[in-house]
């Protein structure tokens, strides 16, 4: 038989139960939290028409798309067209891609969301709160902790300009990260309008704004002196540099910093409107029960340079090098590319792989649960099989996730099997037990075991699994 | 702003909350049932190396693969290679595909499962029971109820020849379909070894066996006379045709039919071994609590012509034209293509889209739940917002999935919003209620409402949502 190498495609992963059980627990927690706040699930297909995706993620993004090759006659036609083209210049990868493909895998969840809103405008009731947890594909060079196929998790609300929604995003981040067990984290909050007015007040020329903001964004990592060095390198002039450094480096509570900024921004209506927005957001965040030390106004937060138009957020672990666990902001213009009319939007995402890295770093992973299965019922022989199958049915009738040994084996082998898989409870039915109308319940976590009458076995198993005591025999 | 048509890729679907809530309920039920029987979750990437997939699904399958276009320099190189080839003959789509692509989207869940087993042989403890629910891609011509991206749901156990596992597959089908509310269904059971020996006993020449079995497989749909007509068309000769018709059309309980078959099969050791296997399967199925009328021995069941080697199963709705809701069987040789050594396997799958069609046909869908959200808290004005946010927190603290109106609006608009979405409970906090320390709970399902003190609101809301009474005021 010709053997095929069982190798994963580059940058992709298999999730075996041991890891998936842990991941699914986190996904459930996210799902529950989102639904708790009235967010509904949405799923879009992996495959999108290229026209939907192209141009949304810059040239880099277009290059990194996983494109679907045309098939059959349309592939042959595309190939013939390429052949008849000028042979002196070799066609670019971009033009080859466009000729040979017209579909691609989704690159993020935001653009498909925008398409859905446009396509289903009449069915959806606005404002529409939705969450989406699905894989995305990017052909980046694989490296440690970076994959080509990975999950994104987005929470967005479309159809309202109310800043309660911006605050709700921060509250959801807070709730998820606290429930996951993180303690030292904070959500940094800023506003794109404020950034725009800072650029104006700092008299940063249009051509240097992107680089200036990129430098500012590093305040968290390289400190004020580092940012100053980068601004000097950009040759903004001393006055501009001083002004920017002054504006982004106020310390204090959001109230005091925003008040000082307000003074500094006198005359910039954009800037003042942004400060007013931020005040509202901080007020609502507090009303929603987020502790004051879990949010922070941060004038240096930039959050990419994409489609954001209003408040922006980013949650970081303080005292960790892992960086951002997720972030988001208000983007009131993206949907318009599909609908022809702008629709206000605000959203937040979770960096799923980063969150798993962080859970490991902070030793918050559940190391003990490595399988969904709770009980193994042993099988000794063909003759005792009926009793084992009956016992398994009893356990399942109480909701205990139970497997029966597939093949009769000696007890040692069956115990080792349960132990290797991490199944906590083994229900032992040997010929002696069956003759005595009893079963042995062995708790592999504690190493204790007890013999109980068959008819009580399921109840006792449930007690053991839900934290009750086992008698030692 | 250039507007982009918000059109789905051909043969793909968006799942809006209204539909997804229903789908997710079914997925949860499947997941719970599988885990109940000790099956663990597994996930594999959407993208596989083409070498893993090619040749596993026949020529047709290779043609229908969603292939990933190469990128960058390797794409340019592939294009140059094509150009330098002989220009007299236009290259086939198959050779173009192989040149321009070396990855593809998974086509089913069985082949990736086999790859995982081979790749992770040392980590996995055998026997390994796993389930997998993920989308697959096939570029078939889209038609009503047929999609190019659709979910498959597979349950398999690798590493044991025990027929208790074959029976477990049937028991899982039974449990899932009963829990979904289906009443008139039956799992047809047969054995590939029996089919092989029927072909031998019927003296069907090797070249006609596939067609003969395809004809037999239609017994369910076209009846004995229809099958006989097809066999006559195959020119098997009268004696062969009679023999086959006799063997596949015994009626009665599995015991009686198997006993009669055993007589008829005298001398065929393959056939007798298959009958013995089937006896065991029926015995275990019964020990696992599956009622006798929910299983049926059916010598005409063929179940494709692929990799099955032992018992095979298929569950159908009796009295419906929808056909099979799922099926499976034992396949002891597939994994060997990856591992180099055979590993016994048995599995069953669920035709997810067919199941949804069947739920609709049998009016078993939950028409009433169209959202995950249970309560809407109204907002009247900026001034009453704090009270509304506090009320929402209270509700959530009891686990009630609650959204707060994003923007202050008149009560009518907020009630219409909840009604359109299908949110059952509206918690009304107007200025009067707030002044009186009360809230109004309005149950949109019954149209009843009650005024209750604020501090009791969350408890009362929970009672209403979990089926308690609302006082009419």
Among residues B192, B193, B122, B129, the alpha carbon closest in space to that of B159 is found at B129
Given this model, what pLDDT does residue B438 score? 96
Q: Identify the burial level of A286 via C-beta atoms within 10 angstroms of its C-beta, where 0-12 means exposed, 13-18 middle and 19 or more buried.
A: middle
Pairwise CB contact (< 8 Å): A127 & B407 = yes
Lowest mean pLDDT among A406-420, B248-262, B314-328: B248-262
Given this model, what pLDDT does residue A27 score? 96
- pLDDT, chain B, mean: 91
- Peptide bond connecting B305 to the previous residue in cis, omega within 30 degrees of 0: no
- Length of chain A equals 473
Pairwise CB contact (< 8 Å): A42 & B14 = yes
pLDDT per residue as tens digits for the range B288-335: 999 999 999 999 999 876 689 999 999 999 988 888 999 999 998 888
Residue A327 has pLDDT above 60, yes or no: yes
| Alpha-helix runs per DSSP H in A234-376 | 238-248, 254-264, 269-287, 336-339, 352-361
Give the SS3 label for residue A330: strand
- Other C-beta atoms closer than 10 Å to the C-beta of A437 total 10
Average pLDDT over residues B121-146: 91
SS3 content of chain B, % helix, strand, coil (to 5): 45, 20, 35
d(CA A246, CA A240): 10
Given this model, what pLDDT does residue B412 score? 95
Given this model, what pLDDT does residue A470 score? 45
| Alpha-helix runs per DSSP H in A153-268 | 163-179, 192-201, 209-216, 219-233, 238-248, 254-264
Pairwise CB contact (< 8 Å): B52 & A90 = no
Pairwise CB contact (< 8 Å): A40 & B7 = no
User: How would you classify the pairing of strands B345-350 and B438-443?
Assistant: unpaired
- Other C-beta atoms closer than 10 Å to the C-beta of B200 total 15
First to last CA, chain A: 53
Pairwise CB contact (< 8 Å): B47 & A66 = yes
Among residues A308, A303, A348, A327, the alpha carbon closest in space to that of A213 is found at A303
Do residues A44 and B20 touch, judged by C-beta distance below 8 A?
no
Average pLDDT over residues A400-428: 95
CB nearest to A8's CB, from B45, B76, B376: B45
Task: Give the position of tokens 């509250």.
Answer: A171
Given this model, what pLDDT does residue A80 score? 86
- Interface size A-B, in CB pairs within 8 Å, comes to 326
Q: What angle do CA A77, A78, A80 make, to 5 degrees?
A: 65
- Please list the residues that pair with A442 across neighbouring strands: A426, A449
Side-chain half-sphere exposure of B316, counting CA atoms within 13 A: 17
d(CA B164, CA A4): 31
pLDDT per residue as tens digits for the range B181-231: 999 999 999 999 999 998 888 889 989 998 898 888 888 888 899 999 999
Do residues A30 and A153 touch, judged by C-beta distance below 8 A?
yes
- Positions of E strands within A93-215: 101-105, 128-137, 149-158, 185-191
CB nearest to A6's CB, from B72, B92, B115: B115
Pairwise CB contact (< 8 Å): B97 & A69 = yes
d(CA B119, CA B339): 8
Pairwise CB contact (< 8 Å): A44 & B420 = no
C-alpha R_g of chain B = 29
In A, minimum Cα distance to B89 occurs at: A80
- Other C-beta atoms closer than 10 Å to the C-beta of A58 total 11
CA of B110 to nearest chain A CA: how many angstroms apart?
A: 13
Secondary structure element (H or E) that encloses residue A328, with its range = strand A324-330
Q: What residues of chain B lie within 8 A of the CB of A84, using their CB?
A: none
* Cβ within 8 Å of residue A296, ≥6 positions away: A186, A187, A188, A189, A254
CA of B234 to nearest chain A CA: how many angstroms apart?
A: 33
Given this model, what pLDDT does residue A336 score? 81
The structure tokens listed for A404 are 């029966």
- pLDDT, chain A, mean: 91
Task: Compute, in degrees rounded to 10, the torsion defined by CA atoms B196, B200, B206, B210.
Answer: -40
pLDDT per residue as tens digits for the range B69-94: 999 999 999 988 887 766 667 789 99
* Cβ within 8 Å of residue B332, ≥6 positions away: B161, B309, B310, B342, B343, B344, B345
Q: For chain B, what percent of residues have pLDDT higher than 90? A: 68
Answering whether pTM is above 0.90, one says yes
Q: What angle do CA B323, B328, B334 make, to 5 degrees?
A: 140
């Amino acid at each position: 038989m010709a053997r095929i190498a069982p190798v994963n495609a580059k940058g992709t992963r298999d999730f075996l139960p041991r890891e998936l059980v842990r991941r699914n627990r986190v996904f459930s927690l996210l799902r529950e939290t989102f639904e708790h706040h009235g967010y509904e699930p949405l799923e879009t297909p992996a495959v999108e028409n290229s026209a939907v995706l192209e141009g949304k993620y810059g040239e880099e993004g277009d290059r990194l798309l996983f494109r679907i090759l045309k098939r059959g006659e349309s592939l042959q036609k595309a190939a013939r067209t390429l052949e008849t083209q000028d042979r002196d210049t070799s066609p670019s990868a971009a033009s080859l891609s466009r000729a040979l493909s017209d579909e691609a895998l989704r690159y993020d969840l935001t653009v498909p969301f925008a398409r859905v809103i446009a396509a289903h405008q009449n069915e959806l009731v606005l404002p529409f709160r939705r969450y989406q947890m699905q894989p995305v594909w990017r052909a980046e060079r694989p490296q440690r902790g970076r994959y080509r196929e990975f999950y994104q998790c987005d929470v967005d609300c479309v159809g309202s300009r109310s800043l309660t929604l911006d605050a709700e995003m921060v509250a959801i981040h807070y709730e998820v990260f606290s429930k996951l067990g993180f303690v030292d984290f904070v959500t940094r909050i800023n506003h794109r309008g404020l950034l725009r007015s800072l650029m104006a007040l700092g008299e940063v020329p249009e051509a240097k704004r992107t680089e200036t903001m990129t430098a500012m964004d590093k305040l968290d990592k390289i400190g004020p002196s580092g940012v100053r060095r980068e601004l000097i390198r950009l040759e903004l002039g001393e006055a501009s540099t001083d002004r920017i450094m002054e504006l982004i480096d106020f310390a204090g509570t959001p109230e005091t910093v925003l008040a000082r900024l307000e003074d500094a921004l006198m005359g910039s209506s954009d800037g003042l409107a942004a400060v007013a927005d931020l005040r509202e957001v901080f007020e609502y965040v507090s009303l929603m029960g987020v502790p004051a030390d879990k949010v922070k106004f941060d004038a240096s937060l930039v959050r990419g340079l994409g489609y954001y138009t209003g408040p922006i957020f980013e949650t970081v672990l303080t005292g960790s090098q892992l960086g951002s666990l997720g972030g988001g902001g208000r983007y009131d213009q993206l949907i318009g590319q599909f609908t022809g009319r702008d629709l206000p939007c605000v959203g937040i995402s979770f960096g799923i792989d980063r969150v798993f890295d962080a859970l490991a770093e902070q030793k918050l992973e559940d190391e003990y649960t490595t399988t969904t299965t709770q009980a193994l019922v042993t099988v000794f022989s063909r003759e005792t099989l009926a009793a084992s199958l009956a016992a398994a049915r009893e356990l399942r009738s109480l909701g205990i996730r139970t497997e029966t040994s597939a093949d009769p084996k000696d007890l040692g082998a069956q115990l080792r099997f349960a132990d290797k898989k991490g199944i906590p409870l083994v229900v032992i039915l040997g010929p002696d037990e069956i003759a005595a109308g009893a079963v042995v319940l062995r708790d592999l976590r504690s190493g204790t075991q007890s013999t109980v009458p068959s008819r009580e076995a399921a109840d006792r198993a449930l007690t053991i699994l839900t934290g009750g005591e086992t008698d030692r025999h």
